[in-house]
């Protein structure tokens, strides 16, 4: 019999708990165009979704051939907040899944703490995860490096083998694999299904499948 307290479920935030990625990508497209780089939505997804803010900034500066000012984002933050406030919703099926998953849970995202507080509060999930929320800003390297997941597990007192990561991006899946953790990949978002495939990765198409997928991995 599995001890529920000896397994940790680590959730990504954007695209797993809250349906924020397509909103943010649309704003990214406007921001990048204003900076001088025109990309399609598909190109932005392939280049940036699931990656850290530091990666985004590095790639943009390399393409533009110039450093951006320290306060360059100030002119655009209201666009993200405005669109998220108006259009953010929970990923379909995640609320019911969270109610029946019997294991300890946390959030580990490449997003900033302030962004997660905003989106999780808007979605009504902040109180569920408060005190167990981890950001790429907490570690040296964000996803696809394993640092963030390993940090979350260590802080909460779990071994990598006791953790199941729920992800929706290539970078997140690779980070979980690198951390030697079990992985459930949600293919109902904006990342192509084939990009989520990997050795031992269980892919689901709807969050109603999540509890069974987690139990199967833990009891395997």
The CATH number of whichever domain residue 99 belongs to comes to: 3.40.50.1000
Q: Burial-class residue 116 by CB neighbours within 10 Å (0-12, 13-18, 19+).
A: buried
Catalytic residue among 12, 19, 147, 168: 12
Residue carrying structure tokens 């989520």: 196
* pLDDT for the residue numbered 3: 67
Q: No. of H helices and E strands in the chain?
A: 10, 6
Q: Is the same domain home to 152 and 183?
A: yes
Residue carrying structure tokens 């900033």: 112
CATH of the domain at 80: 1.10.150.240
Q: Is the same domain home to 63 and 118?
A: no
* pLDDT for the residue numbered 61: 97
* pLDDT for the residue numbered 1: 45
Determine whether 12 is an active site residue: yes
Give the DSSP letter of residue 186: E
CA distance 58 to 122: 30
pLDDT in tens, the chain (220 residues): 456 779 999 999 999 999 998 999 999 999 999 999 999 999 999 999 988 888 999 999 999 999 999 999 999 999 999 999 999 999 999 999 999 999 999 999 999 999 999 999 999 999 999 999 999 999 999 999 999 999 999 999 999 999 999 999 999 999 999 999 999 999 999 999 999 999 899 999 999 999 999 999 999 8
Q: Is the same domain home to 44 and 78?
A: yes
Beta bridge partners of 29: none
Nearest to 165 by CA among 97, 93, 107, 101: 107
Q: Is the same domain home to 106 and 154?
A: yes
The pTM (predicted TM-score) of the whole model is: 0.92
Last residue of a domain, one of 86, 115, 134: 86
Give me the helix-helix angle, 170-178 and 147-156, nearest 10°: 60
CA distance 210 to 33: 37
User: Could you tell me the residue range of the domain that residue 158 belongs to?
Assistant: 4-19+88-219
Last residue of a domain, one of 65, 86, 107: 86
Last residue of a domain, one of 43, 60, 86: 86
Contact 119, 15 (CB under 8 A): no
Q: Is the same domain home to 146 and 208?
A: yes
**Structural domain count of the chain:** 2
Pairs from 38-44 (Cβ < 8 Å, separation ≥ 24): none
* pLDDT for the residue numbered 217: 97
Catalytic residue among 3, 14, 46, 147: 14
């Amino acid at each position: 019999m599995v001890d529920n307290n000896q397994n940790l479920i680590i959730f990504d935030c954007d695209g797993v708990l809250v349906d924020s990625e397509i909103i943010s990508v649309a704003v990214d497209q406007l921001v990048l165009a204003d900076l001088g780089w025109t990309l399609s939505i598909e190109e932005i997804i392939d280049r940036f979704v699931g990656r850290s803010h530091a990666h985004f900034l590095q790639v943009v500066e390399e393409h533009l051939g110039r450093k951006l000012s320290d306060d360059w984002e100030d002119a655009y933050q209201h666009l993200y907040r405005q669109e998220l406030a108006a259009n953010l919703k929970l990923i379909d099926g995640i609320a019911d899944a969270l109610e029946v998953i019997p294991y300890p849970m946390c959030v580990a995202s490449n997003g900033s703490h302030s962004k997660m507080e905003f989106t999780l509060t808007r979605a009504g999930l902040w109180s569920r995860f408060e005190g167990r929320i981890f950001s790429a800003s907490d570690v040296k390297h964000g996803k696809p490096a394993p640092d963030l997941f390993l940090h979350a597990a260590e802080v909460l007192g779990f071994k990598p083998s006791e953790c199941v990561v729920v992800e929706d991006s290539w970078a997140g899946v690779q980070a979980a694999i690198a951390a030697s953790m079990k992985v459930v990949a949600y293919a109902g978002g904006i990342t192509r299904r084939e990009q989520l495939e990997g050795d031992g990765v269980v892919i689901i198409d709807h969050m109603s499948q999540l509890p069974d997928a987690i139990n199967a991995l833990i009891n395997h």
